[in-house]
């Protein structure tokens, strides 16, 4: 790609991403904009992390900024967290009934295929 992008000395995976985006998009302007949106992620993430995210996105043939961003955003595990009710005493009065799962025992009997 001629112009100022040549001077960036980007890793090879960026060139692969650019070529794939160009092959997918219908409008030429949209192609360049999507690639620039990926490069825009450099404003918030270091090159090493972005390169790694681009490589992962390329492996699954995901060629958009949003796809690359999924590999940059930390994945939070809720497993070892607790929901504290400090300051929410009114919630102790809330009662939630157990769900009635009997409807799922034989879902095809009522109005469906048999």
pLDDT surpasses 50 at 1: no
pLDDT tens for each residue of 66-82: 999 999 988 777 777 77
pLDDT at 107: 64
DSSP collapsed to 3 states, 43-102: HCCCHHHHHHHHHHHHHCCCCCHHHHHHCCCCCCCCCCCCCCCCCCHHHHHCCCCCCCHH
Of 72, 57, 69, residue with least CA distance to 18: 57
Q: How confident is the model at residue 65 (pLDDT cuts 50, 70, 90)?
A: very high
Q: How confident is the model at residue 27 (pLDDT cuts 50, 70, 90)?
A: low
Structure tokens at 85: 């009710």
Q: Kindly report whether the global pTM for this prediction surpasses the value 0.75.
A: no
């Amino acid at each position: 790609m001629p112009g100022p992008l040549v001077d960036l000395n980007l890793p090879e995976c960026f060139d692969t991403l650019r070529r794939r985006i160009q092959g997918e998009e219908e409008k030429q302007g949209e192609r360049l904009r999507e690639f620039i949106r990926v490069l825009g992620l450099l404003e918030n993430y270091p090159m090493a992390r972005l390169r790694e995210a681009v490589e992962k996105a390329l492996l699954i043939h995901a060629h958009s900024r949003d796809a690359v961003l999924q590999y940059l955003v930390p994945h939070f595990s809720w497993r070892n967290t607790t929901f504290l009710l400090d300051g929410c005493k009114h919630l102790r009065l809330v009662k939630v009934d157990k769900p009635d799962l009997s409807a799922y025992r034989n879902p095809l009997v009522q109005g469906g295929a048999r």
